[in-house]
Structure 1
Amino acid sequence: MVADLRETSARPTTDDLPVTAETIETAAAGLRRYLPPSPLQYSRAFTAKAGCHVHLKIEGVQPTRSFKVRGALNKLIRIPPEQRAAGVITASAGNHGQGVAYAAAAFGVPATVYVPDNANPLKVQAIKRLGGRVVHFGRSYNEAYLEARRAQEAGDATFVHAFDDPDVVAGQGTLAVELLEQLDQLSEGVDTVLVPVGGGGLISGIARYLEARRPDVQVLGVEPSGADALSRSLEEERLVTLDHVATMADGLAASAPGPLTLRIARACVDGMIRVEESEMLRAIRLFFEWEHLLAEPAGAAALAALLYHHTPRASERVLVILSGANVTDDVMVRALRAR
């Protein structure tokens, strides 16, 4: 785990960031028309296992079974209607594409989603069911992204970035607004929030909001050891692009954070944890066996960090973000066999 980033002398100010607590709260108000709050549950099983108080924020029940729909909807809400009518275009490993297709359907506009050739077929099918047009291109998210950018420049559709966009980050940050409201209703508090990290949109939104409204809360990011671009970028205090990404967690398989998400992370994130593939598989199995719910590898990464890396105080109150449930059958079989 990275040393406490709050102790880093180079930790920048939040004053000039384009995402604020107010923009996140505005996004939360806008999303209430489209999305009910996702469940926040106290887990007796994981509390006993981890030796601390554990709440689970379960994003796998969102309409697209992932938190990504938050950012996509907020982006489309923020696009002027006449511009939005021309449609939207994006690149995605799967979950963001579903979110964009869902949001486009909500506004009755066309959506085109570029995906790499090896994209999760279940996620691709879901994008099509939601009305999105899918274009396969390249062997990686980055190749699909560059082709989508070229297509967008040749037309009138608005590009919806998977993570490095202020409106998308604000949309993902609505999860933090929601969890604080839910904790207040339960008369509960929180000391640490564990957040899975791909390109950094989710952790940027959550950390930005909590830094402003609850600065006493520690926000820790979680990455696969084979896709640890944000960890390396924070350690080296520069944007690091990985030459190779190796993880089954397609939702976390970003080769680099965005310039915006890295800026926010440097100012607001308190530390990072790397997890192994086998740990995510075991976390998927335990989540299924103990809570009878599904998580994909990206969705289970934060739970893996709690179980195998985070060393909590006995009275610590830890909130784990279960970010998505779009797990393939082969990964689920592997997880059920993992010990």
Structure 2
Amino acid sequence: MTNTASIELPGHQLSVQLSDIISARELLDGVIVDTPMEHSRALGRMLGATVHLKAENLQRAGSFKVRGAYVRMARLTDEEKSRGVVAASAGNHAQGVALAAKKLGVEATIFMPRGVALPKLAATRDHGAEVILHGSNVDEALAEAQQFSDDSGAVFIHPFNHTHVVAGQGTIGLEILEQQPDVDTVVMGIGGGGLLAGAAVALKQQAAMQGRTIKLIGVQAENAAAYPPSLAADALVPLKGVRTIADGIAVGRPGEIPFEIIKELVDDVVTVSEDAIAKALIFLMERSKLIVEPAGAVGVAALMEGKLAELGINPRSVVAVLSGGNIDPMLMLRVIQHGLAAADRFLTVKLMLKDRPGELAIISKIIADTDANVIGVDHSRIGGELSMGNVSIVINMETKGSEHSALVLNSLRAEGYEPLVMN
């Protein structure tokens, strides 16, 4: 290893250092798994670079969260452990805390919003935590958890705003460099910032010791992007409303500790649309055979949307972190439909037809001749827009992309129909 005495390490005065992350990894030995690094040839062809996916969706409890939760709780005193821990989450942090508590023999109470997905609720309880449903969103559950901590003395385990949590999350950076030593660009999602901050310390400081640099790009959903305005203002700027399918990173205010590290070490933060996230999730299922939650797919969405090129980055070796795989099946169904529509592979049209025998058969033949696949038909004779003798038909079909969708629409129009696209 290069002698570091004459090297100015990036972020050398920050609250979390490389030594803290190395120490955290020792604590995690035997607790977590070193998740695989999957080569994505399809993404590589898009970027003209080598692209690997750090499959943290295959981590214990389904996400990176167990790393930070375990390190935070393992460093509690015996007296603190005897008081138990409390946390609030709609999913990944809850499961991480519950698993860590089970490993450490600590009593855990988790507050979750009443509308939490049943698979996440069941998984948290299966790890042995007491789950209390409270409020309609995570903020309300968080307030109740903090009140519980004040009243009971249980130690509150914050999902990202603690140095031990950041150090634990940063262990993923050590694995990335060991598994892909030539990496020059790393892309990952940001919610509160714990994962990105910890990974930034590990990656940037190790790269400096090797005499090279690594670009680190954070990604947020554009409807839950508190970091860009906060970085621009050099102050924490809370969002008034956060609405995104990427619930794992739906955080309205950066954490103070992660923010100080990210503004010092991270090269840039970009945002991606809901459509881009949905398309990335489908891409990962189809091309990499990986089930990833929307928050875990934002890094891939950024690559597919050409965000690196927009930043003027021309990488040779890229790693995108798939931070979690805990997706509710009902949300998965909606995201798949949305993603297919966004990619022009799911077409919904509405047509007004004469209410007479054979009309639907004619429409079906036109669509069949274009090689589109009808997967649903809704037929109605009642409605304010319908005149006597007419019927409304809504047809859902699978297509092969935008050109194929245009072919279907043009074929219908050529036969005198007026399809209204409803995607």
Residues 229, 254 of structure 1: 8 Å contact kept: yes
Residues 50, 306 of structure 1: 8 Å contact kept: yes
Q: Distance in 2 between matches of 1:259 and 1:116?
A: 24
Aligned to 2:386: none
Q: Distance in 1 between matches of 2:184 and 2:11?
A: 21
CA RMSD of aligned residues (A): 1.5
Q: Distance in 2 between matches of 1:234 and 1:140?
A: 26
Q: Distance in 2 between matches of 1:79 and 1:93?
A: 24
Q: Distance in 2 between matches of 1:261 and 1:249?
A: 20
Alignment match of 2:127 (pick from 126, 130, 150)? 130
User: What is the DSSP-based 3-state SS (H/G/I as helix, E as strand, rest coil) of the residue aligned with 2:70?
Assistant: helix
Offset, 1:57: 0.2
Unaligned residue ranges in structure 1 (runs of 5+): 1-12
Q: Distance in 1 between matches of 2:189 and 2:267?
A: 14
Q: Which has the higher contact order (CA 8 A, sep 6+)?
A: 1
**TM-score with structure 2 setting the length:** 0.74
Offset, 1:40: 1.1
Higher mean displacement: 267-276 or 311-320: 311-320
Q: Distance in 1 between matches of 2:139 and 2:306?
A: 30
Q: Distance in 2 between matches of 1:311 and 1:268?
A: 17
Q: Distance in 2 between matches of 1:219 and 1:141?
A: 29
User: What is the DSSP-based 3-state SS (H/G/I as helix, E as strand, rest coil) of the residue aligned with 1:114?
Assistant: strand
Offset, 1:315: 5.3
Offset, 1:229: 0.6
Aligned to 2:407: none
2:206 is equivalent to residue 209 of structure 1:
no
2:30 is equivalent to residue 37 of structure 1:
no
Instruction: Give the alignment of 1:48-59 within 5 angstroms.
Output: 48-59=45-56
Aligned to 1:74: 71
Aligned to 2:148: 151
User: What is the DSSP-based 3-state SS (H/G/I as helix, E as strand, rest coil) of the residue aligned with 2:61?
Assistant: coil
Alignment match of 1:194 (pick from 184, 187, 194)? 187
Q: Distance in 2 between matches of 1:302 and 1:52?
A: 15
Aligned to 1:327: 327
Q: Distance in 2 between matches of 1:54 and 1:169?
A: 26
Unaligned residue ranges in structure 2 (runs of 5+): 1-9, 344-423
Percent of aligned positions that are identical = 37
Q: Distance in 2 between matches of 1:109 and 1:167?
A: 17
Aligned to 1:183: 180
Deviations 1:287-331 (A, max 9, x none): 001111100000111110111132356652110000011112223
The alignment covers a number of residue pairs equal to 323
Residues 117, 138 of structure 1: 8 Å contact kept: yes
Q: Distance in 2 between matches of 1:47 and 1:224?
A: 23
Greater radius of gyration (CA):
2
1:19–1:311: structure 2 CA closer, same or farther, 3 Å change rule? closer
Offset, 1:160: 0.7
Offset, 1:47: 1.1
User: What is the DSSP-based 3-state SS (H/G/I as helix, E as strand, rest coil) of the residue aligned with 1:72?
Assistant: helix
User: What is the DSSP-based 3-state SS (H/G/I as helix, E as strand, rest coil) of the residue aligned with 1:235?
Assistant: helix
Aligned to 2:301: 304
Offset, 1:332: 2.0
Residues 164, 260 of structure 1: 8 Å contact kept: yes
2:171 is equivalent to residue 174 of structure 1:
yes
Aligned to 2:348: none
Deviations 1:137-167 (A, max 9, x none): 2232222112111110111221110000100
Residues 281, 334 of structure 1: 8 Å contact kept: no
Aligned to 1:91: 88
**TM-score with structure 1 setting the length:** 0.91
Deviations 1:65-89 (A, max 9, x none): 1111111111111112332132111
